[in-house]
Structure 1
Amino acid sequence: METQRITEFPHKNMDKRPRKRQRLTWDVPPPPPLVAPPKLVPGMFCGYGFYNGNGSPPWRPDDKDGHYVFAIGENLTPRYRILSKMGEGTFGQVLECFDNEKKEGVAIKIVRSIHKYREAAMIEIDVLQRLARHDFGSTRCVQIRNWFDYRNHICIVFEKLGPSLYDFLRKNSYRSFPIDLVRELGRQLLESVAFMHDLHLIHTDLKPENILLVSSEYIKVPDYRFLSRSTKDGSYFKNLPKSSAIKLIDFGSTTFEHQDHNYVVSTRHYRAPEVILGLGWNYPCDIWSVGCILVELCSGEALFQTHENLEHLAMMERVLGPLPQHMVIRADRRAERYFRRGVRLDWPEGATSRESMRAVTKLPRLPNIIMQHVDHSAGDLIDLLQGLLRYDPAERLKAREALRHPFFSRDLRRFGYPM
């Protein structure tokens, strides 16, 4: 689970809409100096030291991958002072900064100085501004505060939020959330997805890493599965967030309904079958991801822990039953090789290893997965998931239909989680 999950980005089919906004170039690169610029003290870069200065730091080259090289305590423009590094991804890195003008903490996404990531960042800014215009309560998606171009890095300033659901699970030893908390998280997630779909936007990369808790506060509660064991490390307790409020982040891969939908989207574990089969995709690919996420929140583990297509399809059939023939027949040329005579999945004959075969064989059916981890509401949740994880995207529940499901609407006993 700790292995970094890589998202395939649609470089070739990028949105080519003209950019009308003016590029901000107040901090352009200086002319090449005759003498090498002064360097900071060794060991200070990338969050390992401190730099004291009121203006911009000395100019220095990016690292070999195009990441911005920084030091804790220095300024990112005179307005923002760097406090810590919050995270890193294929796009670049996120820094916690203090906004000297607004006197508040913010998170700044500093995109790598590589053309395709800069282009993706500009698309993300367009999407974020569109979302902000319509998200009147600021409750569904992370809010953009500002953006600027600094030393060839697109920098997007966001409100500061808490940890992602994935980070919370990881730091909690991948212990599942209580079903009543899953209900609250699922409701908000579907409301956010419905909000985006109403605006003709498809997120395409929904996963626990891209869902952030608004607050970092948590409480410790007994983990009854461990109470009967003798333990010295306190593992019979688990952490739960004080508030269930969440927001979506990372709109760098978001696309409009009318754009090209033939390239590969979604991080592997949450990728819908129509994407793997090359059938094209639309809003339902987000719904499939939501289904996978809800199972993960209930169990603590990703539903489909796989790294290649044939094994992924075999896992789907193991958990959900056989793929529909009408989808198999329409699979594109790249996906044809996963089937014998174009009809039956080439499994286990086509398995790459015995380990791969065991990974598929050990998976239970969907109802059994849920019943292993959920006490009350299991029946309603199973029924909801079977609607979210329907193979045929045309038959999959829509976000607003899912919100009306009995799993959310029944008057069940709930443990209060403030929104």
Structure 2
Amino acid sequence: MRPTLRLLKPLLKAPATLPHHPVSAHVYRSVPLLASDVPVEEEGAPDYSPRHFYPVRLGEVFQDTYEVVAKLGYGGNSTVWLARDLLRYRFPEDRYVTLKVCRSDPPHRAAAQRELALSQHIRAANPWHPALKYVRTAKDAFELAAHTALVYEPMREPLWLFQRYRLGGAYPPALLKSTVRMLLYALDYLHTQCRIIHTDIKPENILLALESTALLDTLAAAERAQPSPRKILADRSIYRSRNDLGPLRSLPRFLRLTDFDVAVRGDGGEPLTHWAQPDDFRAPEVTLGRAWSYPADIWNLGVMLWNLLEGDSLCSGRDAYDAYDAGRQLAQITSILGPAPSDLLSGAVDAHLFYDEDGRLRADYGYGLGRVRLEDTITTLDGPEKALFVDFVGRMVRWRPEEREGAGELLGHAWLN
């Protein structure tokens, strides 16, 4: 047993058979309580079931190492927590970790195990590669009954929160360039060194680096002084997240692409034809049921840039009521890129759902035959800068996957340099 762990053992009071053992009892004083009949955070998920979510408690210690100090967020497949690393608490840069506690039902448990396996593969593929710093991988993992807990380095808020609350909704072009450059480095590493297709690139899955771990000290102190509101039930407490780290003290040094629970290997041998990617950013070959590969990530990133630069989607497939329709999305793409090439439609198992025998869309959703020039969709740039950007994204947003440039090629484009 390591000396530090031997000294800490007496302080960790509960035996291993007792799953909950808060060591910070002060967090339960003056707790604001929420109504028991109102859904809180993860309870609002359409398929929420308490038996699928581990009942993490503030103050709980896992593996005699990680003491939970605040809830950072939640999603449909996990809850996310800030924890102290009790074995490294004297090291300022390593005293905190983020715990992602995943759902236990079979599909989500399998996704967590896949994310862990891919994370280990990413770290081992080329450990000294400089682009690895732009990919967030698990540094540890452990089991909580039927739940997988993944341990990560703490990060700041995701890109969409940064854009909305720190940038007022508008992403400055100069900052966008550095953001895109880092994402392309990440994709180039994943595609060429790891043979991994991310399939889920969106602002929610891009996290900013912390300026200083002092921000986490402040957050932990705020949780002690003013405990987060929570709903206390018979078998668990459901907490409100505390994830506002305050205004930036400096521009982020780097960002990281995260969340590999739906990522896939691109070198598996069998063609990839399953439904994938966020609705708003889905590549046409995925929609049409053709085999897809690394270029799907390039399309995904390319169309996402409109959300950052313009605050709106290029071809989301959504109507005025925000309802997604894949046919509408193909009509939007057609209005910008022109008709889908016949060779793309041939052999696409789902093409008949959207196109007739002559390769015409079955419905144009009001877009008609009119063309929208790509440059006309950009309002935040002008002059040579706009021309360079349009040329840059035009190499990513193309019907045929084989005609899209790879991440490494795009890094040499004049718009980024």
Counterpart in the other structure of 2:306: 295
Distance 1:363 1:166 in 2: 30
Q: Per the alignment, in what secondary structure is the counterpart of residue 345 of structure 1? A: coil
**Secondary structure, aligned partner of 1:404:** coil
Gaps of 5+ in 1: 1-25, 31-40, 50-61, 218-237, 352-356, 410-419
Is this contact kept in 1: 2:211–2:253, CA < 8 A? no
Percent identical among aligned pairs is 26
| CA shift in 2, pair 1:48/1:72, >3 Å | farther
Q: Which residue of 1 aligns with 2:261?
A: 252
Q: Which amino acid aligns with 2:62?
A: L
- Which residue does the alignment assign to 1:175? 169
Q: Is the 8 A contact 1:73 1:82 kept in 2?
A: yes
Distance 1:185 1:265, change over 3 A: same
1:165 equivalent in alignment to 2:159: yes
Aligned to 1:20: none
Code of the aligned partner of 2:109: R
Tell me: CA distance 1:116–1:397, structure 2 relative to 1, closer, same or farther (3 Å).
Answer: same
Q: Could you tell me which runs of 5 or more consecutive residues in structure 2 were left unpaired when the two chains were aligned.
A: 1-14, 20-24, 34-47, 90-94, 213-246, 319-323
How many residue pairs are counted as aligned between the two chains? 329
Give the distance between the partners of 2:298 and 2:198, measured in 1 at CA.
10
Distance 1:271 1:300 in 2: 18
2-structure distance, mates of 1:319, 1:64: 45
Paired position in structure 1 for 2:178 = 184
1 CA distance for matches of 2:105 and 2:168? 35
- Pairwise CA RMSD of aligned residues? 3.0
Q: How does 1:262-273 map to 2 (within 5 A)?
A: 262-273=273-284
Question: What's the counterpart of residue 213 of structure 1?
Answer: 208
Q: Distance in 1 between matches of 2:211 and 2:109?
A: 30
Cross-structure match for 1:336 = 352
Amino acid at match of 2:205: N
Q: Aligned partners of 1:201, 1:321: CA distance in 2, in Å?
A: 30
Stretch deviating more after TM superposition (307-316 or 66-75): 66-75
Aligned residue for 2:188, secondary structure, equals: helix
| TM-score of the aligned structures, taking structure 1 as reference length | 0.72
1:109 alignment partner in structure 2: 100
CA distance in 2, matches of 1:71, 1:29: 13
1:374 and 2:368 are equivalent in the alignment: no
**1:140-197, CA deviations, whole angstroms, 9 ceiling, x for partnerless residues?**
2114221000121100000001111122123358622111111111111111100011
Which amino acid is 2:259 matched to?
D
Whether the 8 Å contact between 2:154 and 2:210 is mirrored in structure 1 is: no
Q: Is the 8 A contact 2:335 2:370 kept in 1?
A: no
Q: Using the alignment, how far apart are the partners of 1:185 and 1:361 within structure 2? A: 35
Are 1:286 and 2:293 an aligned pair?
Answer: no
For residue 228 of structure 1, what is the aligned residue in structure 2? none
CA distance in 2, matches of 1:102, 1:154: 22
Aligned to 1:151: 145
1:277 matches 2:294? no
Alignment of 1:60-99 (within 5 A): 63-64=49-50, 66-99=52-85
Q: TM-score, normalised by structure 2?
A: 0.72
Q: Matches of 1:239 and 1:161 in 2, distance apart?
A: 13
Greater displacement, 148-157 / 120-129: 120-129
